[in-house]
Amino acid sequence: MSLDAPEMTSAAASSAHNGPLSRWTRRLTSHPRAVIAVWLVVLALCGAGYPVLESRVQAPDLTVDGAESVEVQRLIAEHFPGLRAEQALLVFDSDTASVDTAEYRAQIERTRHAVASIGGVTLLAAPDSARQLISADNRTALAVVAIDGDQSHRVAVSADVQNALSALPGRDVIRVDLTGYTAIQNDVIIAEQADARRAESLGMPVAFVLLVVSLGAVAAALLPILMAVAGLLTCTGVLLLADTVTSVDPLMLSIATMIGLGVGIDYALFVVSRFREELSARGVTSRSDTDAIRVAVTTTMATTGGMVLASGSVVIVSLAALLVVPAGVFRGIVLGVGVAVATAMLAAVTLLPAVLTVLGPAVNRWRVRGRGVDSDDSAAARRWTRRVMRRPVLFGLAAASLLVVAVLPLTGLRTGFDLGIASLTDYPSGIAARTVAEKFPSGMLSPMEFVVTGSDGGTLSPDAARAVQGFAAELRADPRVAAVLTQSSDGRLHSTVVTRTLIDSAAGSDLVAELDARARSFAASTPGVRVSSGGAPAGLLEISDAIRDAYLLVVVITVLCALALLLVVFRSVAVPVKAVAVNLLATAAALGITVAVFQWGWGEILFDFTSPGFVQVVMPLIVFVILFGLSMDYEVFVIRRIRENWDSAVARGATDPAAANRDAVADGIGATAKPVAVAAAIMVVVFASFLTASTLELKQLGFALAVAVLLDVVVVRMVLVPATLRLLGRWNWWLPALRRRKRTSQRKRMSQRKRMSSLR
């Protein structure tokens, strides 16, 4: 194979700077102030819409498309209208007053009147009508209320009920709060919004300090922060528009904020760093040298700007794989994070070039350290890279072994649903939920429901009805079941199964799965009977099964799409295949460490949480696609720079391919080591700031992403990349002959067209 396998001539290099992105940049730099003015108007409008978006946030849609639990809601509404769509609990609790006192009875009566004044909610049972609704110590009592409507309506009604309860007199003696699935989700929304704001307030200042220290100039350090904020504000505006056709949930916003901040700062940092290099190479010191500044901006965007677009595209394509999971929560995450990445890219390739054109060398103002911007910080990275390439097998095996060890906990992965009750220590629904768990069967918070009909959905025969009652008696005999309440209507039966375990515990998840399996087995063995499982526990079981069923398909789609994009970006076969394989290993390692910390509980004391014995079921898929996309950011940035060096060597007519490859790798990693290290440090800070969250899913997500970025930069970028590129040698840049023949054929056709044109 010859050195010029991918044939990169100086003319081809020149044509790269005449591509669409370069032409676009030249238009932007011709009217930079107009571009900035348009952006300021857009950002003002988006900023004004942010409070509106926050007020419209709803609980995540955890239902599966066409789910049986949704069908159960329809059956209940049609045949058992008194039960409404959801049952919740009013929890009365006092440290001093007994349920039998006049004061306690008066509080119950005031609550009854307050609830009756709210539309969409009905009192089903009160403590004065059922002794089982009163605790053994006679100081806590429950009332069951039914809430009607779809999820958004139940969210609003639950909030109205709690507001009415909070306004009741006498709460200092006898507290009364609402709890249940929707009430808990309402408070989780508030908690996650507070977590996100706290994380931003911690992460942004630290990121700014890192930028100032690394870039050595306050002006240069401000730009990545400002671009990230611009991208997030624009994302807010887009999501506000999207909210007219779909719901926005706190998990979507939190992940979008986390990723938007990280990639927004990174993309802008890469562009600013390259722009400063270009200014230094051209000796530009005055803002009056507008032509040279515009050339520097155009060159920056033709190189690093293209990298930003390629990196962002990989992230978005990776995210799109989540769409195979038939659940609204995943579509929301794809929308939120996809928009956040897209707006970060938009700011980096439109607003930032305009700002850099106006600033010029003023980007280096307000120096904070003695070394100038031209100082060489890459010598150490070059030396390290050459050391790795002298012993690529040794270093490669050591790094790969480390990652394999980190992957091992992933083999024992257990997933479940944590509703976030533990994080609601100061919220009404959380306080009430803990009271219920302490003094009543825990399953009362959200019982399982079964609707039993004839096999055709019609009425039950007398024999089938007796069989169903026998099955209910079997469930009552199970020591893990506290109660089974049945009622008949329209020839159909409804059963409410109250367990003694919380639905978001490991034992609760196992019991729900077992009860569902028993119900299906009963229906299969009993002629003329159809059993449908419903309620929040069944819904969580359905989405858990849907997620697990989608694991393999999501991984395959993500890998194939990323591979296809990288083949185009790198114009190589070996490098994309290597990148995908290494990133799969690094991503699995990050997930393995997350399992050890959160499922095994190794980080309970350090990160202030109690392990439920599983990892949040949505986390592995979300973390995988996001990590796989983000890890490609640095891959694209580093490899594109190495490719530039290789193409330059080819254009110069280098005669020793092995030496040219080593030099290209060492110089490419050396030139990108500092911006990659700084970008990674900022990513780690932004993601790790979410470890301060009270909600467990945000802790898990922040930890997994932070660890993954750390592994990617320290183990992958600094060891595995140079080792594998050294071992592959000239094969790094090989393309099949078919591709080269296609390019040759295209050049011949262009030449023929020119000759025909000259003849005319």
Mean pLDDT by groups of 10 residues along the chain of 760 residues: 36 51 81 92 90 81 85 88 85 92 92 90 80 88 88 85 92 92 87 85 87 86 92 92 81 86 88 87 80 87 84 84 88 91 93 91 79 57 87 92 94 86 88 91 88 90 91 93 89 91 84 92 92 89 90 89 80 82 89 94 89 88 84 75 76 74 81 82 89 88 91 88 83 64 54 49
10 Å CB burial of residue 596 (0-12, 13-18, 19+) is middle
| pLDDT number for residue 747 | 56
| pLDDT number for residue 745 | 54
Domain ranges for the chain, please list them.
10-59+187-417+542-740, 68-173, 436-541
| pLDDT number for residue 401 | 94
Residue closest to 86 by CA, chosen among 518, 447, 580, 554: 447
User: What are the tens digits of pLDDT across the range 529-566?
Assistant: 999 998 888 888 898 889 989 989 998 998 888 888 77
| pLDDT number for residue 312 | 86
Radius of gyration of the chain (CA): 31
* Start-to-end CA span in the chain (Å): 41
| pLDDT number for residue 6 | 35
Domains 68-173 and 436-541 share a fold: yes
Concatenate the DSSP letters of all residues of 499-514 into one string: ESS-TTSHHHHHHHHH
Strands of 579-624 (E only): list them. Answer: 615-616
| pLDDT number for residue 372 | 45
Are the CB atoms for 453 and 492 separated by under 8 Å? yes
Q: Domain 10-59+187-417+542-740 sits in which CATH superfamily?
A: Multidrug efflux transporter AcrB transmembrane domain (1.20.1640.10)
Which residues are 65's β-sheet partners?
A: none
CATH 3.30.70.1320 fits 436-541, yes or no: yes
Strand duo 615-616 + 415-416: pairing: parallel
User: What are the tens digits of pLDDT across the range 409-463?
Assistant: 999 999 888 888 888 888 999 999 999 989 998 888 888 999 999 988 889 999 9
**Rounded-to-integer distance, Cα 618 and Cα 510, Å:** 17
| pLDDT number for residue 242 | 86
**Rounded-to-integer distance, Cα 306 and Cα 317, Å:** 16
Are the CB atoms for 725 and 385 separated by under 8 Å? no
| pLDDT number for residue 759 | 41
Amino acid making up residue 483 = A
Dmax (CA) for the chain in angstroms is: 108
Residue closest to 352 by CA, chosen among 516, 191, 226: 226
Angle between helices 619-651 and 306-320 (to 10 degrees): 150
Q: The domain 68-173 is classified under which CATH number: 3.40.50, 2.60.40, 3.30.70, 1.10.3470?
A: 3.30.70
Give the tokens for residue 222: 């401000």
Are the CB atoms for 255 and 337 separated by under 8 Å? yes
Give the tokens for residue 16: 């790269």
Are the CB atoms for 384 and 723 separated by under 8 Å? no
